[in-house]
A = this chain, B = another copy of it.
């Protein structure tokens, strides 16, 4: 395994260490969360834990089913004890950009439903400047895609409709919507940008996760874990 995969495995294990018997756990999406799901599966078997999980995407649901983790839904358990998720970019204030995997809307709902949100990532995701060399994925209603795209472009930013792979035309999210990738450059006030975007009709959710994270484990190339906590 590369150092990055080793780092992901390490922080995944660290996060899963927070899971206690009786917990309802929200599962994020992506390659780092996949390690956490495998790790959690072993832990549940070894410690004979009574744990139920709520996946935030078909991807994490499929992995959880394969790993024989008992699943539930937010309808049954609207309050989660813990959610574990990854990030595409994370700054020292624990603000995130998410959505490379197009699962941002369900991830945000799962994260918001959890008493505690732990983010796991390798150190390439850590940035001093949120948005630097990184676009912000935005989920939009198909009907409003062109309108939202124009609104963002007219504000002087860059944005493109994300193309799908394995299908013609645009990506369709698990919710049946489109993804717009918008480039805002360095985001000095992510909360203000989030509110501006949310005010545009047609935007279902943005990949900006502001003030939501309680704890982050960052796996370094040197083989350590950097712990970042909410202040």
Contact = CB atoms under 8 A, between A and B. Distances in A.
Copies of the polypeptide in the assembly: 2
A106 interface: yes
B141 A78 contact: no
Interface stretch (A37-45, A82-90, A199-207, A223-231): A199-207
Given A74-B147, A146-B74, A146-B75, A141 B109 contact: yes
Contact of A176 (B74, B105, B176): B176
B201 A109 contact: yes
Given A74-B147, A146-B74, A105 B202 contact: yes
Contacts of A145: 75
A112 B175 contact: no
A108 interface: yes
Contacts of A204: 141, 204
Contacts of A198: 195, 198-199
Interface of A: 74-75, 78, 105-106, 108-109, 111-113, 141-147, 150, 175-176, 195, 198-202, 204-205
